[in-house]
């Protein structure tokens, strides 16, 4: 999205850490350049031409050995930046899609006293069933001078400053298969090391579950998500994503009884979540295949009810981890397939047409 800017925000910098990101570093820097006063990049051992590309794109590039900690690398990059008022923290495989004007408003308004941290929407692309899908998450990425990170991996801003959600959208394609191939094993090792030191940290269990799910290790994913659910603060913004992922991992591990128990315990809290209902529909479909004697009486009505409910709610990108389409074209597509399978040709055609229309209308 193109936006008009009055020029860079005084005192606003971009801070990036990278290693072998020649594929995307220029895209990241070009997307932010109009909005920031300086761009600071810390390279942690690239063997491609990332450093030269970043320098040619206008960044101040520093090189340091990888410290085996994302928080340590983030903090090194911030230390190397010198004087600034706010830092916009991105990864090289991210780019600013929209919201440059909101950066101006925050840095010169609500965040001017340095008592707030800007939370932005990260739209992560990932592959599922041969299609690219988008899952938004909300992360603290606009931080005041002096704030620093903790955590060897999936690092967090260590600050009690209030968080403010901003109308800023950042694209991210680091979860696509080609990019994930080079990261296999690294994240798991760092997460396990962190959990050894902090075994009751719900967020680390959650992240270990996500990492295991990417590898298709559903036994580890289910155990990790369940451990996170036992420990998570009920008010944690990522609890929505945790519940949906726990439900899906139990489905994948064919733990249908415990999955249905989770549906019952979380139904009231997430009745307005399209992702919750979409995943219940998927669960009911697998249950119908596993128990055909109950398909007509129990699981077919359950499939229809929950996919229709997801479609009625609509997409809700403000929910952390919500997948764009679970409340629109993907739900309509699944309903079309369902009606085709049960021999309802008229409803099948209706939802096929709806899915095509909603896909065309989708704005992400």
Distance CA 228, CA 205 (A): 5
Spatial contact of 214 and 126, defined as CB atoms under 8 Å apart = no
State both tokens at 306: 């929950």
Predicted confidence at residue 110, as pLDDT, reads: 53
What's the rounded Cα separation, in Å, for the pair 266 and 255?
17
pLDDT for 362: 74
What does the alpha-carbon distance between residue 333 and residue 352 come to, in Å, rounded to a whole number? Answer: 6
Q: CB of 40 within 8 A of CB of 60? A: yes
Which part of the chain is CATH 1.25.40.10? Answer: 237-361
The CATH fold of domain 9-179: Spore Coat Polysaccharide Biosynthesis Protein SpsA; Chain A (3.90.550)
Distance CA 345, CA 235 (A): 44
The DSSP code for 69 is -
CA–CA separation, 200 vs 259, rounded Å? 23
Q: Return the structure tokens found at 168.
A: 């800023």
Per-residue confidence in pLDDT tens, the chain, 364 aa: 446 556 788 899 999 999 999 999 999 999 999 999 999 999 999 999 999 999 999 999 999 999 999 999 999 999 999 999 999 999 999 999 999 999 988 988 754 555 799 999 999 998 876 778 899 999 999 999 999 999 999 999 999 999 999 999 999 998 876 666 666 677 889 999 999 999 999 999 999 999 999 889 999 999 999 999 999 999 999 999 999 999 999 999 999 999 999 999 999 999 999 999 999 999 999 999 999 999 999 999 999 999 999 999 999 999 999 999 999 999 999 999 999 999 999 999 999 999 999 998 874 4
Position 111 scores a pLDDT of 47
- For the CA atoms of 334, 337, 340, 346, the dihedral, rounded to the nearest 10 degrees, stands at 50
CA-nearest of 243, 255, 178 to 209 is 243
Judge contact between 66 and 48, C-beta under 8 A. no
Q: 217-247, pLDDT tens digit by residue?
A: 999 999 999 999 999 999 999 999 999 999 9
Q: In the structure encoding, which two tokens stand for residue 344, read together?
A: 């309802």
Structure tokens, 195: 């959990």
Residue with tokens 């990790």: 224
**What are 64-68's contacts with CB under 8 Å, separation 24+?**
66/19, 68/152, 68/190
pTM for the model stands at 0.90
In this structure, are residues 286 and 251 in contact, taking their beta carbons and an 8 Å threshold? Answer: yes
pLDDT confidence of residue 187 = 84
Residues 6+ apart with CB under 8 A from 130: none
Which among 187, 205, 186, 185 is positioned nearest to 195, based on CA atoms? Answer: 205
237-361 fold = 1.25.40
295 DSSP assignment? I
């Amino acid at each position: 999205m193109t936006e008009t800017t009055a020029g860079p925000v005084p005192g606003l910098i971009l801070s990036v850490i990278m290693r072998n990101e020649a594929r995307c570093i220029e895209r990241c820097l070009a997307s932010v350049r109009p909005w920031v006063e300086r761009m600071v990049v810390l390279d942690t051992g690239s063997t491609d031409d990332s450093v030269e590309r970043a320098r040619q794109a206008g960044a101040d590039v520093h090189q340091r050995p990888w410290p085996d900690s994302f928080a340590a690398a983030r903090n090194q990059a911030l230390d190397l930046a010198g004087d600034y008022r706010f830092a916009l923290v991105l990864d090289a495989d991210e780019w600013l899609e929209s919201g440059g004007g909101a950066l101006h408003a925050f840095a010169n308004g609500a965040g001017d006293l340095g008592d707030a941290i800007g939370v932005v929407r990260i739209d992560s692309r990932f592959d599922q069933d041969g299609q690219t899908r988008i899952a938004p998450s909300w992360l603290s990425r606009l931080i005041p001078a002096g704030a620093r990170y903790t955590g060897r991996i999936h690092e967090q801003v260590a600050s009690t400053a209030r968080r403010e959600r901003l109308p800023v959208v950042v694209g991210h394609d680091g979860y696509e298969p080609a990019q994930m191939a080079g990261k296999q094993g690294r994240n798991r090792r760092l997460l396990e090391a962190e959990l050894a030191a902090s075994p009751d940290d719900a967020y680390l269990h959650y992240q270990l579950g996500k990492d295991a799910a990417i590898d298709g290790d559903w036994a580890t994913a289910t155990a990790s998500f369940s451990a996170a659910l036992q420990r998570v603060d009920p008010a944690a913004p990522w609890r929505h994503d945790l519940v949906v992922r726990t439900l899906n991992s139990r489905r994948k591990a064919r733990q249908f009884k415990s999955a249905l128990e989770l549906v019952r315990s979380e139904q009231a809290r997430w009745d307005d979540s399209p992702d919750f209902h979409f995943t219940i529909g998927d669960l009911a479909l697998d249950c119908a295949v596993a128990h055909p004697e109950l398909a007509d009486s129990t699981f077919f009505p359950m499939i229809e009810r929950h996919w229709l409910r997801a479609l009625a709610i609509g997409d809700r990108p403000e929910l952390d981890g919500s997948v764009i389409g679970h409340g629109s074209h993907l739900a309509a597509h699944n309903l079309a397939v369902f009606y085709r399978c049960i021999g309802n040709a008229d409803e099948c055609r209706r939802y096929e047409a709806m899915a095509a229309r909603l896909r065309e209308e989708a704005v992400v």
